[in-house]
Structure 1
Amino acid sequence: MDRMERVTKLLMFLLSSSRPMTRDEILERSELYGPSNESERKKFRRDRETLESAGIEIRTEVGLGEQAGSTLYEILEEDYFLPDLGLSVKEQLALEVAASMVQLDTAWDEQALIKIADGEPLPPSPAVAQLAASAGIEKLYEAVRSRAKVYFDYRGVSREVEPYGLLHRGGNWYLHGSDSEERKNFKVIRIQGEVKLGEKGGFLAPADFDAANAMSSDPLLIGEETEILATVKVDAFMAKRVARTRGRIVKTNPDGSILLEIPVRNPMAFRSWLLGLRDHAVVVEPKEVLEDTIQWLTEIKGH
């Protein structure tokens, strides 16, 4: 674990603690440090100073009773998260759009949006967003905020959706919600006609909903298509490199080549990834993925 990861986890640990804690309690319970000794105590002090130098207030108090004489540490939510700024739906949406359109060298924009959104993590956004294609995105955002069901046509079918969150992936907005008790992702630019809202407070979002994890940031898994497992053979030259970053090895052949199972929701992204491996990889199955890949390569060759 590198130092910045440890400092970030220390911040989360102190924020989530229900009471002030002594240094030794933090060393023992946070699982970020080794057994309490002078080296680990110095490490904690440096991490604490790093947080304080970033403007994060760590409150201290002197312990009583069994903790008499010890210093207790805590970070209060009201010291870390911004208070409600009273922004309208359009103002909050404008901030998120602006942050997704401009990529900075630092993460201050994402951190600010997390604070404005009551501490809820936001999905990562690429530098360029395709936002103008749908006039209904403001209604969808309002529906998410007010917990109102939405009604729209999608791929020729009338939908009644409980919207849990709006996600930005690969330059597109997706609505994540429950349609007929099944969680799905709807690509916003494919919504047909007018988006209509039901009554506010018409449903409760599931307790386990996490916008950051509702849709993968992996290009091959960004999409609304049904997930399929593609089996790909990678030769010995690229086997180790590909295995470190992609899929699950199902077989290692005597010549060093491997068979990988790769989950795919975005056929176009999968084809692009495969093309990047040139002649070092080939689709084995399923048949429809193999045929789709052959057709795509044939069309490219024809042009």
Structure 2
Amino acid sequence: MRADRLVAALLFLQARGLVTAAELAAELEVSERTARRDLEALTASGVPVYAQRGRGGGWRLVGGARTDLTGLTSPEVRALFLAAGSSGASPELRAALRKLLRAVPEPLRPDAEAASRARIVDELDWSGTAVTAADPHLAELERAVLDGVRVRLGYARPGEEPAERTVDPLGLVHKAGHWYLVAGTGDGLRSYRLGRIASVEPTGEPVRRPAGFDLAAAWRSLAGRLEDRLLATAVTAHADPDALPVLQRLFGGRLRIGRLLGDGRREIEAAGPSLEVLAAQLAGLADRVEVVGPPAARAHLARLGRALRSRYEEREDATTP
């Protein structure tokens, strides 16, 4: 792409100071005529390049002018502005993009401007409700990670009151609509969901960072442990064909669709953290999904059925004149 070539020409001028059209042509692997047109295009676009005529002449940047650009290509500029330029970007990020746009050479600006307007982020579902609530402690934890400061967290596991723990914040990960803090503890690396953090208090003590720590590798390890817990057990069932889309939305990658049965139903296998959780998830599809194993899952569904029948039959009797 010509825009990429112009950036390469600019950086070559910056590195060499004075270049001839022949030298630039060899560097860019183009003809001298093309190299000369590129140099003229840089001048026309406002880059302070001028031709020095005569013996020992060539092309140079006026007054030793330099660019802060580090060799970004047109696709790279487009990808950067597309990723960071959405309507959901923070005011600080949008301000940084405006400054970066002024530093981008003229030939690359149309791509950058188009990419910055090409994406929006809408955090509301169709009912007008935010899909994920803002994490109030995200900014505090970002500072702690960047400053390398240990923190005391008030952290509440599901169904429990918040408990205090002191951790070494090492990084933040966004996964499936939720933020997680990866932190060092006395028991090794742990992850903490920000939505369950009740308080954050910096201790002023420096973080103890494990030697060779890599956030991506640490997260893969932690996520693998969590996935193992989420896939601890499975049930098999026979499902009506019209139930398959519902099951796919409910279980996603935890659903395996098997062979077609003689009665038109499909054999399925659904994985989850426990038989009780799986039974509760499938109970609402009782008329379209029949759990066939293991026996403990069928027994739990039977108990759920008896409890539902007892509750709602009692209410119906109480409200009948």
Per the normalisation by structure 2, the TM-score is 0.42
For the pair shown, which has the larger CA radius of gyration, 1 or 2?
2
Per the normalisation by structure 1, the TM-score is 0.44
